[in-house]
């Protein structure tokens, strides 16, 4: 199956959800003009890394975000990988990725598993406890958030269960841009899957962000890559290529997990 995917590489107003909703709406409307099937937003796009104020600015149970994504999805009959948002629940605040299908159904949520201590996430956010597998149109996908890509065993957990493309949403800093590119390409090659990665641009009081959102095919070839400014990156993926590559080099059949302990 073919999908035309638009990645929203946007700047994020620090600690200003109302501003960010307005910007996201405008950019999603622009992306829809590209005749895409799936739109992808970045990590923590409603608040940025204003972690110290999450108790007041986080979206309670992600209700405002879900309503917004559903409105866009239904109106335009488009699937939305809704980035991730600070989600305030009765059990804590999570960095939650939300997927809404073109009918407006919330088909998947994923709370970031690996919290990045270098940016103090562990001090303000709670770690998730669920996996990232979900389906759209009968096809198997997975979702990851930023730091997750440094854990190849977590990615492989999902591709061994059938995921043919992995959506990555991020706020990846510019000083580690080379890591971003190298890790994403490696994850595509070793899992023989598409990697569809949406990063933010711009800066906040403590960080400058890298951009370079990417779509990478199962061979590890870059289908499309953005620069370091705001951009809507659009390209097509053919999930049939995943099956072709996995048949040509059958790494999943040749695995010996009994030795991987």
The yes-or-no verdict on residue 9 having pLDDT over 90 is yes
| Residue 224 burial (CB count, 10 A) | 16
The yes-or-no verdict on residue 261 having pLDDT over 90 is no
pTM comes to 0.97
Helix, strand counts (H, E) of the chain: 7, 13
pLDDT tens readout for residues 214-254: 999 999 999 999 999 999 999 999 999 999 999 999 999 99
In the numeric block, the tokens 């059958």 are attached to 250
Structure tokens at 250: 């059958």
pLDDT tens readout for residues 58-90: 999 999 999 999 999 999 999 999 999 999 999
pLDDT of residue 157: 97
Using a pLDDT cut of 90, give the percent of the chain over it: 98
- Give 105's contacts (C-beta < 8 A, 6+ positions apart): none
Assess whether 64 carries a catalytic annotation: no
Query: Catalytic residue among 27, 36, 43, 164, which?
Result: 43
Q: Please give the CATH topology (third level) of the domain spanning 2-259.
A: Nitrilase/N-carbamoyl-D-aminoacid amidohydrolase (3.60.110)
Query: Catalytic residue among 27, 36, 121, 146, which?
Result: 146
pLDDT of residue 31: 96
Query: Catalytic residue among 112, 164, 193, 198, which?
Result: 112
Assess whether 146 carries a catalytic annotation: yes
- b (16+ CB within 10 A) / e for 113-137: bbbbeebebeebbbebeeebbbebe
Backbone angles phi, psi at 91, to 5 degrees: -100, 0
pLDDT tens readout for residues 22-56: 999 999 999 999 899 999 999 999 999 999 999 99
Question: How is the chain split into domains, by residue range?
Answer: 2-259
Assess whether 161 carries a catalytic annotation: no
pLDDT tens readout for residues 149-194: 999 999 999 999 999 999 999 999 999 999 999 999 999 999 999 9
Residue 254's Cβ-side half-sphere holds a number of Cα atoms within 13 Å equal to: 8
- Nearest to 194, CA basis, from 82, 83, 42, 38: 38
| Residue 39 burial (CB count, 10 A) | 29
The yes-or-no verdict on residue 128 having pLDDT over 90 is yes
pLDDT tens readout for residues 95-123: 999 999 999 999 999 999 999 999 999 99
| Residue 56 burial (CB count, 10 A) | 9
* Enclosing H/E stretch for 88: strand 79-89
Distance of CA 27 to the CA centre of its chain: 17
Q: How far apart are CA 97 and CA 169, in angstroms?
A: 8
């Amino acid at each position: 199956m073919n999908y035309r995917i638009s990645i929203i590489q946007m700047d994020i107003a620090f600690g200003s959800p109302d501003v960010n909703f307005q910007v996201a709406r405008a950019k999603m409307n622009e992306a829809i003009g590209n005749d895409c099937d799936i739109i992808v937003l970045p990590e923590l796009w409603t608040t940025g890394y204003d972690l110290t104020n999450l108790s007041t600015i986080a979206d309670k149970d992600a209700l405002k975000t879900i309503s917004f994504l559903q409105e866009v999805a239904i109106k335009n009959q488009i699937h939305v990988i809704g980035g991730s948002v600070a989600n305030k629940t009765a059990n804590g605040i999570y960095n939650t990725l939300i997927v809404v299908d073109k009918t407006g159904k919330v088909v998947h949520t994923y709370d970031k598993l690996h919290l990045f201590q270098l940016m103090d996430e562990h001090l303000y956010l709670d770690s998730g406890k669920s996996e990232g597998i979900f389906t759209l149109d009968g096809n198997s996908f997975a979702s990851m958030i930023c730091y997750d890509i440094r854990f190849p065993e977590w990615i492989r957990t999902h591709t061994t269960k059938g995921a043919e493309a992995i959506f990555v949403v991020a706020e990846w800093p510019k000083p580690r841009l080379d890591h971003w590119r190298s890790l994403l390409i490696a994850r595509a090659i070793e899992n023989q899957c598409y990697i569809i990665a949406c990063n933010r641009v711009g800066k906040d009081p403590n960080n400058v962000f890298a951009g370079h959102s990417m779509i990478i095919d199962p061979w590890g070839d870059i289908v499309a890559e953005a620069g370091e400014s705001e951009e809507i990156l659009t390209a097509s993926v053919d999930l049939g290529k995943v099956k072709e590559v996995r048949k040509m080099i059958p790494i999943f059949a040749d695995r010996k997990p009994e030795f991987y302990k």
